[in-house]
């Protein structure tokens, strides 16, 4: 499975709206290969999510693999989930600020407000309907990747750009020098 090039901020594909996937396309070998290639690319980049527009494919599909509590992003054998044509409905609760990075904006992090819980509707990699509630870090990953399907990046969600930092400086000044940190980029 080839590692796909991840587009970086400035590429017009990252600001374009992705097209819905025809459900009849999901079981086809080319679409399944795209999913496999995206999973391999996400793992190679040490990310926890990757949307098709980030690899230049304007389709509403993303892969993600939330780490378990205390697990690092480089633990590549985590369960990978696939969402095709997702729709999100925020659940009640105030927005929660937390740090995010992005594979398309390497080495930058910022504080981003997200809903703490979301209802997710869509299709899985076999075309089966999904309907579940995601919370915590999983909800954050899904919202981040969903934004990519709509041409939105995490910088657009930041309310105060003063929290924007390069990862090395973030490690040194925001969390304390020498701590064992997970350098996960969402996607």
Residue from 127, 27, 135 nearest 83 by CA: 127
In angstroms, how far apart are the furthest CA atoms of the chain?
A: 51
Grouping H, G, I as helix, E, B as strand and the rest as coil, residue 101 is strand
User: Residue length, the chain?
Assistant: 187
Indicate which residue of 145, 169, 177, 179 is catalytic.
Answer: 145
**What is the rounded CA–CA span in Å between residue 105 and residue 99?**
14
Evaluated on CA atoms 41, 124, 145, 185, the torsion sign reads negative
145 is catalytic: yes
User: How many CA atoms does the CB half-sphere of 157 hold within 13 Å?
Assistant: 27
Q: Are strands 49-51 and 61-64 parallel, antiparallel or unpaired?
A: antiparallel
Question: Active-site residues: which are they?
Answer: 145
């Amino acid at each position: 499975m080839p590692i796909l090039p991840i587009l970086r901020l400035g590429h017009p594909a990252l600001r374009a709206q992705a097209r819905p996937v025809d459900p009849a396309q999901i079981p086809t070998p080319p679409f399944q290969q795209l999913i496999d290639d995206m999973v391999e690319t996400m793992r190679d980049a040490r990310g926890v999510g990757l949307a098709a527009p980030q690899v230049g494919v304007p389709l509403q599909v993303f892969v993600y693999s939330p780490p378990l509590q205390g697990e690092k992003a480089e633990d590549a054998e985590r369960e990978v989930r696939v969402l095709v044509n997702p729709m999100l409905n925020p659940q009640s609760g105030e927005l929660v600020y937390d740090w995010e990075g992005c594979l398309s904006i390497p080495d930058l992090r910022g504080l981003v407000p997200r809903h703490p819980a979301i209802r997710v509707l869509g299709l899985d990699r076999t075309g089966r309907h999904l309907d579940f509630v995601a919370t915590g870090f999983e909800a954050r990953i899904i919202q981040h990747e969903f934004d990519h399907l709509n041409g939105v990046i995490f910088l657009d969600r930041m309310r105060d750009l003063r929290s924007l930092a390069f990862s090395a400086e973030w490690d040194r000044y925001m969390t304390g020098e020498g701590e064992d940190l997970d350098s996960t980029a969402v996607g």
